Structure 1
Amino acid sequence: MHKLADRLDHFSDSIIRRMTRIANQYDAINLSQGFPDFDPPPELITALKQTADSGPHQYEITWGSAEFRQLLAKKQQKLMNIAVDPNENILVTCGSTEAMMCAVMTVCNPKDKVIIFSPFYENYGADAILSDATPIYVPLIPPTFEFNKEQLRQAFAQGAKALILCNPSNPCGKVFTRQELEYISELAIEFDTYIITDEVYEHIVYEPYQHLYLASFPGMKERTITCSSLSKTYSITGWRLGHIIADKAIIDGCKMIHDFLTVGAAAPLQKAACAGLAFNENYYHQLTKTYSQKRQLFLDGLDKLGLTYYPPQGAYYVLVDISAFNPFATDLEFCEWLIKEIGVAAVPGSAFFKEPEYRYIRFHFAKKESTLLAALGKLSKLKEKLPC
């Protein structure tokens, strides 16, 4: 038998999803894979029930239903402060995962270089490999997770075709400042580089931080590919509804890639999700308030346990330093032990960092308060079972 494709040698299965499988096996509280344990807004559930009766149940237009695109354009152009034409500037995808894959495949030729900040969401490296592009990793340095300007300039100077920017960032919760985004914009224009943004946590940002859309910066609309999703904003991760917003020439390219990757996102789910896209700004204010409360509850609990962590500025993840827990050769071993012996699932930081010296694990707090309290209760046994 011939050897399978060489690209398989360069990445493994998803460590995040693997942690969920192990958590399920041991009936642990899953604070690894980032999905809520509470229902979506009732308006979406009602709309889904109605759609089950009335349809549509067949293919939609490949790049997304007209109603979905119109509502999304109205919502996003107000937030992004740029013109968004529903017919020319939007592609609806099967989650932001496909959106990012489409974006990388649209702009990159084989062997093109793609800049990725580290820590990074694990799919980004895989996206580059599957596109036969070469990743260049630039560190975000703890505890503030700022980048070194000269290191970033050197990465651009290597001829990078694109940079992937997750803002707010998964896993560290960093929200990029205006000054940082201005510098990235200057380099992108100077070196003629595309910026692919992952903005799925755009509505989950904590005071006093503010989410800014790179596409709205001077000279950036033409070279920014904005990817996002409804998953986190409306607590519908299983619906797999994402989207790309970009200039027409880029969207036309993304449409061709998307057409042969997935054909289109689920028609009935697009219809039902329109109920969420029609929400007014009060919904998003309440979303921020809700996650701010969950964040505070979980961080207060970590404080009481004496664990070292980095307070997230956005998203719903927190990195916890496990360097004091020495008996484990790897952070993966620690996370497997944590599931089996403590009953709580986390993700090993090595899934996100290219730098081997860091010893972090990632928890998420997109859970009911009762779930978070139960998890903290189990974690209180950590030092008892495993003295530092």
Structure 2
Amino acid sequence: MINSSRTLAATGLLSKLPNVGTTIFTVMSKLATETGAINLSQGFSGFDCSPELVSLVEHYLRNGFNQYAPMTGVPALREALAQKTFEQYNVAYNPETEVTITSGATEAIFAAVTSVVRPGDEVIVLEPAYDSYVPAIELNGGIPVYVTLTLPSYAIDWQAIAEKVTDKTRLILVNTPHNPTGHVWTRSDLNQLADLIRDRDIWIVSDEVYEHILFDGRSHHSLMTHPELQERTFVIGSFGKTFHITGWKIGYCLAPVNLTTEFRKIHQYLTFSTVTPIQYALADYLKQPEHYRQLPDFYQHKRDLFLEGLRGSRFTFTPAEGSFFQTVSYAAVSDEPDYDLAVRLTKEIGVASIPVSVFYHQRNDYQILRFCFAKDDATLQEAAERLSRL
């Protein structure tokens, strides 16, 4: 028998996230599965990771590395990551006090936001924005303040950001290479951000999970490479995006010791520690730089292959500068709302995408869809052929 008093109490529960439902990524991936569509919606690789990495994991699984890892991450991985960071960016992080391994980048972003945001603090969010940012802000009592990136280049309007900064601004969330647009920050962007926050009590969370996926000779300008910004920034990374292992959920945070101290206070009560044998395997795998240095060429081939297949279509686009996402305008194809078209294309031609309006808090609809091209070549060619039939 159902306890009626308990039922009444349950119906009176006030949601902490009243405007949040099932994510669009879950919705579109589920629809793709149900219809048998090619899934270019959710950002995961359509191919397996390196057999060498799998063998390393198996080695540690079979040799007793199956208990809790240290809360901060196994020392071997923190040391390997610090070494890789120094070689890549010439920036030194102390692996003992400034490097933390997390259960995915989303956990790291949440812990970083929680470390610095208090009720009433304002947080600047650049839209379109990845969907985990704003819930993390709101759950901590923060107030998101939105600045829209400039179409069609998605360049940053620094004057618009400066106009939104107040005495209550505590944090700015940045993302480069950018999801969903593929825009990549320049050195000038870093300098302008440093000018903006100088002499202010403002921190930065920098989502850099696509750091190795850049095209046409571009470089990744990590916020850690700017001395003023490095002092104030939680740099968030992901082994999942780099090594095609999104299902393993391994991320990390690089931050100065004062920020890391607060970050770890939160992290230890979110997941405490991250899966042990995989950490040891990644520590070994990181020692071979070619595993990540080949990613720009690898993914640029896929971007170009997908776009070449769309060139005869009515879609228009500017090639993504980085990440493994391509945005495409359908203004010449249909006047439907982007959500409706994304659903229709999934059902009728068998290609699933993400409507970019979901990345705006007011659901701004610019008639743009996002496609993930981290798939095998045959899949990309087939998807482009189907889209070109419209």
Q: Same fold (TM over 0.5)?
A: yes
Q: 1:21 aligns with which of 21, 30, 54?
A: 30
| Correspondence 1:162-241 to 2 at 5 A | 162-241=171-250
User: Per-residue CA shift, 1:154-211, capped at 9, x if unaligned?
Assistant: 1223531011110100010011111111101111223321110000000001123211
Structure 1 segments, 4+ long, off by >4 Å, are none
Q: How far does the alpha carbon of each residue in 1:286-324 deviate from its partner, in whole angstroms, 9 at most, with x for none?
A: 211111111110111121223112311010101111233
Contact in 2 for aligned 1:43/1:275 (Cα 8 Å): no
Partner of 1:146, secondary structure, is coil
Out of 207-216 and 56-65, give the one that drifted further: 207-216
Q: 1:386 aligns to what?
A: none
Where does residue 85 of structure 1 map in the other structure?
Answer: 94
User: What percent of counterpart residues are identical?
Assistant: 34
Asked whether the equivalents of residues 159 and 191 of structure 1 are also in contact (C-alpha less than 8 Å), the reply is no
Distance 2:91 2:32 in 1: 43
Shift, 1:74, TM fit: 0.5
Q: Any idea what SS the aligned residue of 2:242 has? A: coil
CA distance in 1, matches of 2:260, 2:64: 27
1:245-280 CA-to-partner distances (Å, cap 9, x unmatched) read 001111111111111111111112212222321112
- 2:349 aligned partner: 342
Whole-angstrom distance in 2 between the partners of 1:47 and 1:59: 18
Letter aligned with residue 41 of structure 2: S
Residues 310 and 385 in structure 2, CA contact (< 8 A), matched pair in contact too: no
Pick from 274, 278, 299 the counterpart of residue 291 of structure 1.
299
Q: Within 5 Å, which residues of 2 pair with 1:92-131?
A: 92-131=101-140
Cα deviation for residue 78 of structure 1 reads: 2.3
1:255 correspondence with 2:264: yes
Q: Partners of 2:16 and 2:110 in 1: how far apart?
A: 15
Structure 2's unaligned 5+ residue stretches are: 1-7
**In 1: Cα distance, 2:369 partner to 2:148 partner:** 17
Residue identity in the other structure for 2:45: P
Residues in 2 aligned to 1:198 and 1:215: alpha-carbon distance in whole angstroms: 12
In the TM superposition, what is the alpha-carbon distance from 1:226 to its structure 2 partner?
0.3
Are the counterparts in 1 of residues 353 and 369 from structure 2 also a CA contact under 8 Å? Answer: yes
CA contact (8 A) 1:100 1:227 kept: yes
The answer for the alignment partner of 2:4 in structure 1 is none
User: Would the alpha carbon gap of residues 68 and 376 (structure 1) be closer, same or farther in structure 2, given more than 3 Å must change?
Assistant: same
Paired letter, 1:333: D
Question: TM-score, normalization: structure 1?
Answer: 0.94
Describe the shift of the 1:310–1:122 C-alpha distance in structure 2 as closer, same or farther (beyond 3 A). Answer: farther
Distance 2:306 2:333 in 1: 21
* Cα pair distance change 1:237/1:157, threshold 3 Å: same
Measure the CA separation in 1 of the matches of 2:233 and 2:112. 10
C-alpha deviation, 1:130, in angstroms: 2.1
Which of residues 313, 325, 329 is equivalent to 1:317? 325
Contact 2:123/2:172 (8 A) holds in 1: yes
- After superposition, the CA RMSD in angstroms is 1.5
Counterpart of 1:75, as a letter, is: K
Count how many residue pairs are aligned between Structure 1 and Structure 2: 380
The answer as to 2:20 corresponding to 1:39 is no
Structure 2 CA distance for aligned equivalents of residues 212 and 143 of structure 1: 21
Which residue identity lines up with residue 339 of structure 2 in the other structure?
Answer: L
- What CA distance in whole angstroms lies between the structure 2 residues aligned with 1:217 and 1:26? 47
Q: What displacement does 1:90 show?
A: 0.8
Distance 2:356 2:135 in 1: 17
233-242 or 15-24: which moved more?
15-24
Q: Deviations over 1:126-173 (max 9, x none)?
A: 221222211111111111111222211012235310111101000100
Letter aligned with residue 321 of structure 2? Q
- In 2, the alpha carbon distance for the partners of 1:353 and 1:123 equals 12
Which of the numbers 354, 362, 374 marks the counterpart of 2:370?
A: 362
**Superposed CA offset, 1:192-234 (max 9, x none):** 2111000000000112321111122132222011001101111
User: In 2, Cα distance between the equivalents of 1:313 and 1:224?
Assistant: 23
Distance 1:159 1:132 in 2: 13
State which of 30, 53, 75 in structure 1 corresponds to 2:39: 30
Cα 1:135–1:236, aligned 2, differ >3 Å: closer, same or farther? same
Corresponding residue number in structure 2 for 1:151: 160
Q: Give the TM-score, by structure 2 length.
A: 0.94
- One-letter identity of the residue aligned with 2:112: A
Aligned match of 1:161? 170
List aligned pairs for 1:364-383, cutoff 5 A.
Answer: 364-381=372-389, 383=390
More moved, 304-313 vs 113-122: 304-313
Preserved CA contact (<8 Å) 1:113 1:161: yes
Compared CA separation, residues 15 and 158, structure 1 to 2 (3 A)? farther
Q: 1:165 and 1:204 mapped to 2: Cα distance?
A: 17
Gaps of 5+ in 1: 384-388
Structure 1 residue 12, shift from structure 2 partner: 2.1
How far 1:34 moved relative to its partner?
0.8
